[in-house]
Chain A
Amino acid sequence: MNIKIKVNGQLRSVEVEHNTTLLQVIRKDLNITSPKSGCEKGECGACTVLLDGKPITSCLVLAFTVDGSEITTLEGITPKDGLNPIQKGLINAGGIQCGFCTPGFIMSGHNFFSKKEDFTIDELKRALSGNLCRCTGYKKIVDGMLLAAKEMGIKVKK
């Protein structure tokens, strides 16, 4: 089946089989490599992208089912010449070690902050609960997200 999807604002047309995943399309057909193939069963969150504005694990989405949809990856929320606030925050807080989980965390964080004027730490942690990291122990990822929130003018509720 031929599907048409809008990826990071660009209309793309791809031929897919019944079992081709969205992650395979993004990485192999479109050569966009920030979403990672981790557990391949929707639990680690390394393949997180936005599907019509909502974070999903692209390893569990059959590509044919999203014909006509809009997809956003980390590449789509990163300025051409520089870094977005979450990327900066994670670097400055030491929230990155091997980096494999990082794009997924950034997509979940980006979606969370895009809907908030203020938030609690528990809400932030819950928004990140679908992403696993085996290096940092999470604290520095949360710290990095808090630096990003500060830069974007989003306040922490007590």
Chain B
Amino acid sequence: MNKIFVNVENLADLLSIKGQYGKKGIIISGGTDIVVRMKNNMIDPEVLISIKKLAELKGIVARKTKVIIGAGTSLDEIENSTLIKENYYPLYQAVFNMASPQLRNMGTIGGNIGNASPAGDTIPPLFLMDAEIILYSKKGKRSISVTEFFKGPGKTVMRDDEIIHSIILKNNYLTEKNSGYIKVGQRNALAISIASVAYFKDKKYKRFAFGSVSPIIHLIELKFGLSDEQLLKEIESYITPIDDVRATKEYRKQVIINLVKDIYF
């Protein structure tokens, strides 16, 4: 079987090729996940479409109270953006602690979202930002709230002819003082999250989104003044951790409880 592999240099070409090949057309951005899966014989793409050279999908732009991040923007560029660090601190912190310098230069936010892993570190912060995922296809553009986008591990609402174009961030009040992203892994660099918490604290309520402890991430809002027991009950109603190579479900649960208690009380 002859493989098809192309570099696309403009959006129109990308949409046309993706429309033509549909599910068979695998988009490769940073490649940090796809190439590993190809090497492990987990996937054998017939059509590889590289968007590494597609400038239209790169960059971070401020628009009034929103910020738009191109799907092909590298994690390194997000980490080094003062706009992100000052207004969307949990995303900055998530990216700062991801992978390694080399992989942050390669990996992109669109790739992290498109993979739809419950351990994807950029995803829980997006829930605090009321983020919208902008999808394009030959038929046009649509915008999906981050709360509706994910349907399970590796599953999203995207159609086979669609691509992730950009991510819109709202709620630009997430600063180092009132918010953050805490990740627990086996070591600092190069570790996949065992459990993680993105959080925001206000005078009235506290918001959380947990990573790696449920198939779909939820935005959780907790009022002030809950007792220890009530808090525990609330947390338990949102998480369904699993055992895997990195940790047991009991360990994951305890980690989340400890992290939330530290933030809440």
Overall SS of chain B's interface: mixed
| Residue A129 CB within 8 A of the other chain | yes
Q: Contacts A42-B102, A130-B103: A65 and B190 contacting too (C-beta < 8 A)?
A: no
A61 touches B100 (CB 8 A): no
Q: Give the chain A neighbours of B7 by CB distance below 8 A.
A: 64-65, 67
| Residue A70 CB within 8 A of the other chain | no
Q: Mark B4-46, 1 if CB is under 8 A from A, else 0.
A: 1101000000000000000000001001100110110000010
Pick from B47-55, B203-211, B239-247 the stretch touching chain A.
Answer: B47-55
State how many angstroms separate the Cβ of B245 from the closest Cβ of chain A: 15
Pick from A5-13, A25-33, A48-56, A145-153 the stretch touching chain B.
Answer: A48-56
A130 touches B31 (CB 8 A): no
| Residue B64 CB within 8 A of the other chain | no
Checking B36, B48, B189, B190 against A18 with a beta-carbon cut-off of 8 angstroms, the contacting residue is: B48
| Residue B139 CB within 8 A of the other chain | no
Q: Give the chain A neighbours of B156 by CB distance below 8 A.
A: none
B36 touches A56 (CB 8 A): no
Q: Contacts A19-B38, A45-B100, A57-B106: A65 and B50 contacting too (C-beta < 8 A)?
A: yes
With CB as the reference atom, state the residue of chain B lying closest to A1: B5
With CB as the reference atom, state the residue of chain B lying closest to A67: B7
Q: Give the chain B neighbours of A45 by CB distance below 8 A.
A: 100, 102
B35 touches A61 (CB 8 A): yes
In angstroms, Cα B45 to Cα A19, docked, is: 10
Interface size on B, residues (CB 8 A): 27
| Residue A66 CB within 8 A of the other chain | yes
With CB as the reference atom, state the residue of chain A lying closest to B38: A19
Q: Give the chain B neighbours of A40 by CB distance below 8 A.
A: 39
B28 touches A54 (CB 8 A): no
| Residue A81 CB within 8 A of the other chain | no
Interface size on A, residues (CB 8 A): 30
Q: Contacts A65-B7, A65-B50, A67-B7: A129 and B190 contacting too (C-beta < 8 A)?
A: yes
In angstroms, Cα B189 to Cα A130, docked, is: 7
Q: Contacts A18-B3, A129-B101: A60 and B189 contacting too (C-beta < 8 A)?
A: no
Checking B52, B99, B101, B105 against A65 with a beta-carbon cut-off of 8 angstroms, the contacting residue is: B52
| Residue B121 CB within 8 A of the other chain | no
A129 touches B105 (CB 8 A): no
| Residue A108 CB within 8 A of the other chain | yes
Checking B48, B100, B102, B103 against A62 with a beta-carbon cut-off of 8 angstroms, the contacting residue is: B48
State how many angstroms separate the Cβ of A38 from the closest Cβ of chain B: 12
Checking A43, A60, A108 against B101 with a beta-carbon cut-off of 8 angstroms, the contacting residue is: A108
B101 touches A55 (CB 8 A): yes
B31 touches A62 (CB 8 A): yes
B50 touches A62 (CB 8 A): yes
| Residue B188 CB within 8 A of the other chain | yes
A62 touches B36 (CB 8 A): no
Q: Give the chain B neighbours of A42 by CB distance below 8 A.
A: 32, 35-36, 100, 102-103, 106
| Residue B76 CB within 8 A of the other chain | yes
Q: Give the chain A neighbours of B105 by CB distance below 8 A.
A: 51, 54-56
In angstroms, Cα B38 to Cα A21, docked, is: 11
Within 8 A of B (CB), among A92-130: 108, 126-127, 129-130
Checking A41, A64, A108 against B50 with a beta-carbon cut-off of 8 angstroms, the contacting residue is: A64
In angstroms, Cα B36 to Cα A97, docked, is: 29
In angstroms, Cα B39 to Cα A21, docked, is: 10
B188 touches A60 (CB 8 A): no
In angstroms, Cα B102 to Cα A130, docked, is: 6
Q: Apart from A40-B39, A55-B105, what are 6 other A-B pairs with CB-CB below 8 Å?
A: A17-B3, A41-B36, A42-B102, A43-B100, A65-B31, A130-B103
